[in-house]
C-alpha cells in the first residue's frame, strides 16, 4: 500500500467511525478524529502568498478559512465554526499530500468511475 492510499484509507476509517458506521479495517484506531485532507502544493502556494504575515496568518486554520476550492464542504460559516473548535480541541487528523494537477485529475476520474451506479 502506497502513502497516498494509506492516508486515504486512514481518512476513510476515521470518517466511518465518526458517522458510527462499521469499517473493515482489521484494527480499530483510537480516538476517532475528524479527517482533513490538505494538498501540500496548494497550501504551500497559500503560504507563499502570505509570506509577509506572521506565522499565525499562514496557519492551516488561516488556509481553511479561505475556503479552498478542493474543500467545498467548508462553504458554510457553521461548518467553519465547528471545524475551528474541533481543531482547537485537537480532534482532527490532518493528512497532507503533494497533489499535482494530473494526480488530482486521475484521482477524480477514478472516483467518478467507482461512483457510477451499476
Strands 92-97 and 34-39: parallel
pLDDT at residue 112 tops 70 = no
Q: What tens digit of pLDDT does each residue of 4-43 get?
A: 788 888 888 888 888 888 888 878 888 989 988 887 888 8
pLDDT at residue 105 tops 60 = no
Q: Residues 106, 109, 110, 113: what is their CA dihedral angle, to the nearest 10 degrees?
A: -160
How is residue 97 annotated by DSSP?
Answer: E
Q: pTM of the prediction?
A: 0.63
Amino acid at each position: 500500500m502506497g502513502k497516498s492510499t494509506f492516508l486515504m484509507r486512514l481518512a476513510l476509517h476515521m470518517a466511518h467511525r465518526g458517522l458510527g458506521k462499521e469499517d473493515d479495517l482489521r484494527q480499530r484506531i483510537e480516538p476517532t478524529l475528524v479527517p482533513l485532507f490538505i494538498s501540500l502544493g496548494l497550501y504551500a502556494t497559500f503560504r507563499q502568498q502570505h509570506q509577509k504575515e506572521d506565522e499565525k496568518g499562514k496557519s492551516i486554520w488561516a488556509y481553511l478559512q479561505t475556503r479552498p476550492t478542493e474543500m467545498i464542504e467548508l462553504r458554510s460559516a457553521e461548518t467553519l465554526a465547528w471545524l475551528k473548535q474541533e481543531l482547537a480541541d485537537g480532534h482532527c487528523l490532518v493528512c497532507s499530500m503533494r497533489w499535482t494537477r494530473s494526480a488530482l485529475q486521475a484521482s477524480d476520474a477514478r472516483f467518478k468511475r467507482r461512483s457510477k451506479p451499476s
